[in-house]
């Protein structure tokens, strides 16, 4: 007979999870509207993902195809405003909250456990940040937690056929979203193999799920082969170029406290411990081991500290159950729970509000600098590039309209013949993506008909030169006029990107170049920059 744990509470669990998911969705809608009102625009990567969405493929140099599909669907369904392109990420964040509540329910947690887990996740800085803009990271926990929920329900006696198929589909799409899914699946596999829960692996439906996962992910592998494994080259270049900051074991672990909000450590750490002990949460040790294995894998690979973020909802769910079981004994202890849970959630809320400016730009830039200086708060720095007064996550939302306006004015100053053949070149995908998107929007009722931009960075290199003439170029580059004159006979500075809040490397000249020198022939192959 099929075991269906807590079926009588399923409707209540679904209702509660839906309420918290709606709160999460409303929060992100409000934050996006407010930050846009303050003057924060598109984030650098959003331009790039939208450009990728307009060049749909089974793979990309530096990310999977799902975020490009997300960008394209968002643009088609809702438009290309800042608010519109972030709707699906907000929906993904709400879905993560929903899955967290359902995982707590699947482990036999009741409403207090579900509520604590979901509330803790809502005020988590990492998720406020990643769910607040167009990003592959917003959907990552959705795929991971769907797999966790599937395994938990299989262990509790639910249909193996149905839930292994759900697992396979979610894992396959997750692999198309980010390669880190493979490491998560490896950790899950090790956790199951080393515990009695390995029994669910010896099923034909397990094989069906795994085959389905591989078939879904296969087109991306074929794309990588066809394009000579560009993602491996991208990862290699980042490593040898020291692109990312490498943290030691202690720093890496402490960073988890900041990412998840320090007070939330009282939720997820008890969750990991409860799973490893497998007393208050039956058949959960495999999931506790999964965290340990994944943490070690990410540390060994020198991953960014936020690469662990997608795994935490399961431990918030377990932590909620651990606290619920702690207060589920005598009547006096239950009365204490009535006081303890709301008090705990109040502390989480207050701490979350204090730290909110670190995950979402809810303050104007000058006010943000004063606020963080007064409280001695510091934004985490993941890459080695020098930053200005704002952390890169905020700084990369400034300066783009200035760039596009200069490029547009320069383009309009050209003769019709030159307009038809001019190349618009940018150093990086952010600059190129800004030109492509912002020039396609309406300005005073008229679209800005600029040619597609080109860049040597990542997928922009694969898209080529669009048949333009390198003898006439509008270039957004960091090179000095003296260096550029080695390649072009005529070098004119037509403007400069100098927004004080932008990243320092985005303070650069914009040139109009004419007459490529024969001593420096143009070669698109030399422009490739996977980094």
How many other β-carbons are positioned within 10 Å of the β-carbon of residue 105? Answer: 27
**Element counts in the chain: helices (H) and strands (E):** 24, 7
Backbone angles phi, psi at 470, to 5 degrees: -70, 0
With beta carbons less than 8 A apart as the criterion, state whether 410 and 456 touch. no
Phi-psi region of 519 (alpha: psi -120 to 50; beta: other; left: phi over 0): alpha
Helix/strand/coil for 457: strand
Q: Could you say which DSSP state residue 286 is in?
A: H
Residues 512, 410: contact at Cβ < 8 Å? yes
Contact in structure between 458 and 62 (CB atoms under 8 Å): yes
d(CA 147, CA 287): 11
Q: Which residues pair with 426 in a beta bridge?
A: 455, 476
State how far the alpha carbon of 150 is from the alpha carbons of 217, 254, 271, 427, in Å. Answer: 19, 30, 19, 44
* 181 closest CA partner among 212, 209, 157, 213: 213
In terms of residues, how long is the chain? 531
DSSP state of 453: P
Torsion sign over Cα 117, 36, 391, 458? positive
Question: What are the E-state strand segments in 413-507?
Answer: 423-426, 442-443, 446-447, 454-455, 472-477, 488-497
Tokens of 462: 């694969």
pLDDT given for residue 331 in this prediction:
53
Integer Cα distance of 261 and 63 in angstroms: 27
Give the separation between CA 156 and CA 469, rounded to whole angstroms. Answer: 64
pLDDT at 377: 87
Residue with tokens 């600059």: 431
User: Does residue 230 contact residue 224 with C-beta atoms inside 8 Å?
Assistant: yes
Please tell me the distance from the alpha carbon of residue 508 to that of residue 436, in angstroms, as a whole number.
19
Residue among 128, 102, 127, 126 nearest 114 (CA): 102
pTM of whole model > 0.85? yes
- Token pair for 162: 């149905």
Task: List the pLDDT tens digit at each of the 531 positions of the chain.
Answer: 344 544 678 999 999 999 999 999 999 999 999 999 999 999 999 999 999 999 999 999 999 999 999 999 999 999 999 999 999 999 999 999 999 999 999 999 999 999 999 999 999 999 999 999 999 999 999 999 999 999 999 999 999 999 999 999 999 999 999 999 999 999 999 999 999 999 999 999 999 999 999 999 999 999 999 999 999 999 999 989 888 888 889 999 999 999 999 999 999 999 999 999 988 898 999 999 999 999 999 999 999 999 999 999 999 999 999 999 988 754 545 556 566 778 888 999 999 999 999 999 999 999 999 999 999 887 666 666 778 899 999 999 999 999 999 999 999 999 999 999 999 999 999 999 999 999 988 554 555 579 999 999 999 999 999 999 999 999 999 999 999 999 999 999 999 999 999 999 999 999 999 999 999 999 999 999 999
Q: CB-based contacts of 531: which residues, under 8 Å, 6+ apart?
A: 234, 237, 238, 241, 243, 457, 458
Nearest to 432 by CA among 44, 42, 43: 44
Residue 209 pLDDT: 97
Angle at 458 between CA 461 and CA 511, to 5 degrees: 60
**pLDDT confidence of residue 444:** 46
3-state secondary structure of 327: coil
* Cβ burial 20-40 (10 Å sphere, 16+ → b, else e): bbeebbebbeebbeebbeeeb
């Amino acid at each position: 007979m099929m075991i269906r744990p807590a079926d009588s509470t399923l409707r209540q669990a679904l209702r509660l999870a839906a309420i918290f998911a709606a709160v999460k969705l409303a929060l992100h809608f409000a934050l996006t509207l407010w930050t846009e009102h303050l003057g924060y625009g598109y984030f650098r990567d959003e331009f790039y993902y939208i450009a990728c969405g307009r060049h749909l493929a089974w793979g990309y140099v530096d990310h999977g195809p799902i975020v490009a599909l997300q960008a394209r669907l968002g643009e088609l369904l809702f438009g290309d405003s800042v608010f519109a392109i972030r709707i699906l990420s907000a929906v993904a964040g709400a879905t993560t909250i929903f899955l967290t509540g359902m995982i707590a329910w699947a482990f036999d947690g009741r409403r207090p456990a579900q509520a604590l887990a979901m509330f803790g996740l809502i005020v988590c800085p990492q998720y406020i940040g990643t769910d607040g803009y167009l990003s592959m990271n917003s959907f990552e926990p959705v795929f991971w937690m769907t797999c966790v929920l599937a395994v938990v329900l299989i262990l509790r006696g639910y249909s193996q056929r149905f839930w292994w198929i759900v697992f396979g589909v979610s894992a396959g799409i997750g692999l198309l979203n980010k390669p880190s899914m493979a490491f998560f699946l490896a950790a899950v596999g090790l956790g199951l193999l080393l515990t009695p829960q390995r029994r669910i692996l010896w099923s034909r439906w397990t094989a069906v799920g795994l085959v389905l996962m591989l078939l879904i992910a296969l087109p991306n592998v074929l794309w990588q082969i066809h394009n000579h494994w560009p993602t491996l080259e991208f990862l290699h270049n980042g490593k040898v170029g020291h692109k990312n900051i490498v943290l030691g074991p202690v720093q890496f672990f402490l960073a988890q406290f900041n990412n998840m909000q320090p007070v939330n450590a009282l939720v997820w750490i008890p969750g990991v411990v409860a799973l490893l002990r497998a007393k208050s949460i039956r058949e959960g040790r495999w999931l506790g081991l999964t965290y340990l294995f994944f943490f070690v894998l990410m540390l060994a690979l020198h991953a960014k500290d936020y690469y662990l973020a997608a795994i935490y909802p399961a431990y918030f769910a377990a932590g909620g159950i651990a606290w619920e079981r702690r207060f589920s004994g005598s009547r006096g202890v239950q009365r204490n729970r009535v006081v303890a849970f709301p008090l705990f959630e109040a502390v989480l809320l207050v701490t979350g509000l204090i730290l909110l400016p670190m995950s979402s730009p809810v303050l104007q830039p000058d006010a943000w600098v004063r606020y963080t200086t007064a409280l001695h708060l510091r934004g985490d720095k993941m890459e080695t590039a020098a930053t200005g007064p704002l952390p890169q996550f905020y700084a990369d939302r400034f300066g783009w309209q200035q760039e596009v306006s200069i490029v547009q004015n320069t383009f309009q100053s050209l003769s019709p013949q030159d307009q038809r053949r001019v190349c618009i070149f940018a150093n990086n995908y952010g600059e190129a993506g800004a030109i492509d998107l912002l020039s396609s929007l309406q300005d005073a009722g008229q679209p800005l008909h600029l040619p597609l931009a080109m860049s040597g960075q990542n997928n922009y290199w694969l898209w080529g030169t669009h048949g333009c003439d390198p003898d006439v170029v509008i270039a957004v580059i960091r090179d000095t006029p003296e260096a550029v004159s080695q390649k072009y006979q005529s070098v004119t500075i037509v403007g400069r990107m100098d927004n004080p809040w932008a990243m320092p490397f985005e303070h650069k000249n914009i040139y109009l170049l004419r007459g490529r020198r024969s001593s420096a022939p143009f070669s698109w192959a030399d422009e490739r920059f996977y980094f």
